[in-house]
Amino acid sequence: MKKSSHTLLLLFVLSSTALWAQQENKDLRSGNKQYKSEKYTEAEVAYRKALEKNNKSFEANFNLGNALYRQKKYSDALDYFDRAGALSGNDKQKKAAALHNIGNSLLSENKIQESIEAYKNALRNTPKDNDIRYNMAYAQSLLKKQQNQQQQQEKQNEEQKQEEEQKKQQQEKPKTQQQQQQARMSKESAQQILDALMQDEKEAKDKQKKEIPAGNRKVEKDW
């Protein structure tokens, strides 16, 4: 992936430079030199010194963001690119550079949708910037891939859920049949016991009738 960091090597050249402004330029020059030598930690130190002199310096904030980005401190870098963007004023090139690197930082943190929005805003300021256009296209392809993977995962989850539900039903079916069979057997057994009791009672009554003498039997009175 191409990630242009738009490192600014601009120096303040003011007609009436005070001691602090001169010192700020010295720190910026030192930071830029370290940055070009890929000594990003040393560059960070120099840019922070420049910010101590002037915390509203676009270049110091922006280049510090770059130094932090190169150290993979993406969240910290994002903060300084945001500050740089706020300090860009009406300069569309600076605004676009800050937004571009905001997009790069977001993309590096896998915040793809947010990075695309940052790239779009950058292109509104510099529509012909191919670096921004390239990175936005790359982020859009990542987003599409992510969405496809998410849809595929959701489909697999749904299929797995249906499969588990079918297995559950298959496991419960024999159990239900067994319960129904046991219920039928219990009912039949209860009926058999009831029939046996009724039969015993009938036999007992019949036996009792036989044992009572005929003369002692009560005859129903006819009215």
User: What is the tens place of the pLDDT at every residue in 6-56?
Assistant: 544 433 233 333 455 567 789 999 999 999 999 999 999 999 999 999 999
**Residue 96 contacts residue 129 (beta carbons within 8 Å):** yes
Q: What is the DSSP letter of 215?
A: G
Q: Could you tell me the two tokens for 143?
A: 């987003």
Sign of the torsion angle spanned by Cα atoms 152, 158, 161, 166 = negative
Which residue is listed with tokens 């960070």?
A: 44
- Using DSSP's 3-state secondary structure scheme, residue 108 falls into helix
Q: What is the pLDDT of residue 82?
A: 97
Mean pLDDT (whole number) for 114-137: 94
**Residue 115 contacts residue 107 (beta carbons within 8 Å):** yes
Q: What is the pLDDT of residue 21?
A: 59
Please tell me the least confidently modeled range out of 97-111, 158-172, 182-196.
182-196
Listed in sequence order, the residues at least 6 apart from 194 whose beta carbon sits closer than 8 Å to its beta carbon are: none
Q: What percentage of the chain reaches a pLDDT higher than 90? A: 56
Question: Would the pTM count as exceeding 0.75?
Answer: no
